[in-house]
Amino acid sequence: MKSGVIPSSAVGQKINEWYRYIRTFSVPDAEVLKAEIQQELKHMQHDSNLLLYYSLMEFRHQLMLDYLEPLEKLNIEDQPSLSELSRNIDSNQADLKGLLDYYVNFFRGMYEFDKREFISAITYYKQAEKKLSFVADHIERAEFYFKIAEAYYYMKQTYFSLINIKNAYEIYVEQETYNVRIIQCHFVFGVNLMDERNFEQAARHFKLALNMAQAEQKAQLVGRAYYNLGLCYYNQDLLDPAIDYFEKAVSTFESSRIVNSLPQAYFLITLIYYKQGKHDKASEYHKRGYEYAKETDDADYAVKFEFLQSLYQDQPNEEGIERCFQYLKNKNMYADIEDLALEVAKYYYEKKWFKLSASYFLQVEEARKQIQRSEGLYEIEI
């Protein structure tokens, strides 16, 4: 995301706060928040859903003022209580209330998702789902299915992610102007299918995404499609086609100056060249990738490039490798430890350094246990 651009989920969360003030008739606080949000809208990433939510809340804000105004002429003892007033508004505007309840939960879900609190995100999305019947617009329903599919993907609930992304996709394809979302749907299909090692179907989705992204001339999405295709082959140990696609991703990102996406792609190209024993090529990509990581303040990838350096020296630098793993542990990045420890174990196996190899395999096991543990934070109380 470009720096200075405010994510819509953060603004959504602020509108939720605004709603709380409106519901308690806290006019001054509500006015302040409304003004703040109006400012933030100018710097927000485009999100038509959020703009709709804002308009609804503006309308609800006005309702609050309209209900309060005539009361000023009444004596205190004749004024209805605020909770009575609130009930009146809710029952006269049941559809509006339903819609607002939907958006409160939907944007709260997005907000939790952005914090990578997936379980919490799903809990709010499920609340939103109960009010989905108030959402008449098909596209808004599709947005809902899309968001929930994303969250299930990160929770590794593959089956449900696929069901929901299919729901979203089937709505978007009926429309003329939702090609970007259709491309993103193909990505969600593809990454889920890769989790199941169904690479053939995954590649099919990424290629569909690629063709559409090229037609739409969206460099970010073209690059992402190439990158995903690269992953698809890399995960099958088909290193040459993987390199080809990663190279294409890199040149797409570079020619459009999408610098943030570069360290990741450079990292995998570098890793593959090392695995193939092409040390000159590897050094070249290592150097450029490391520079991009520094340029974009991407500390995680900077550390990972240092890891490659440590591993693929003539005499691997065990301390350097451990330093990298310690960094990842401190950040709870156990999925990365799993991947990298497995690379080390396999590399040492090839080198016939079996003792070290086996000890890294044990680290892979340890990382997996940590991952299972962190996936299982579903709060089910009986």
Residue 317 or 357: which CB sits closer to a copy of itself? 357
Residue 205 or 248: which CB sits closer to a copy of itself? 205
Report, in Å, the least distance between residue 186 CB and a copy of itself: 8
How far apart, in whole angstroms, are the C-alpha atoms of residue 122 and residue 155?
A: 10
How far apart, in whole angstroms, are the C-alpha atoms of residue 299 and residue 331?
A: 11
Answer for the pair 201, 158: CB distance below 8 angstroms, yes or no.
no
> How many degrees, rounded to 5, is the angle at CA 123 between CA 122 and CA 128?
90
Tell me which DSSP letter residue 199 carries: H
Token representation of residue 1: 């995301």
Report, in Å, the least distance between residue 142 CB and a copy of itself: 14
Euclidean distance between the first and final Cα of the chain, in Å? 41
Cα dihedral 160/165/168/173 (nearest 10) = -150
Residue 28 or 376: which CB sits closer to a copy of itself? 376
Report, in Å, the least distance between residue 40 CB and a copy of itself: 34
User: Where on the chain is the footprint of a copy of itself (CB under 8 A)?
Assistant: 119, 122, 155, 157-160, 162-163, 166, 169, 189, 193, 195-198, 205, 342, 345-346, 348-349, 352, 354-355, 357-359, 361-362, 364-365, 369, 372-373, 375-378, 380, 382
Long-range contacts of 83-90 (CB under 8 A, 24+ apart): 85/25, 86/23, 86/25, 89/63, 89/64
Report, in Å, the least distance between residue 191 CB and a copy of itself: 12
Which residue matches tokens 């989905």?
Answer: 132
| 164 SS3 class | helix
Report, in Å, the least distance between residue 268 CB and a copy of itself: 19
Residue 331 or 373: which CB sits closer to a copy of itself? 373
Report, in Å, the least distance between residue 151 CB and a copy of itself: 10
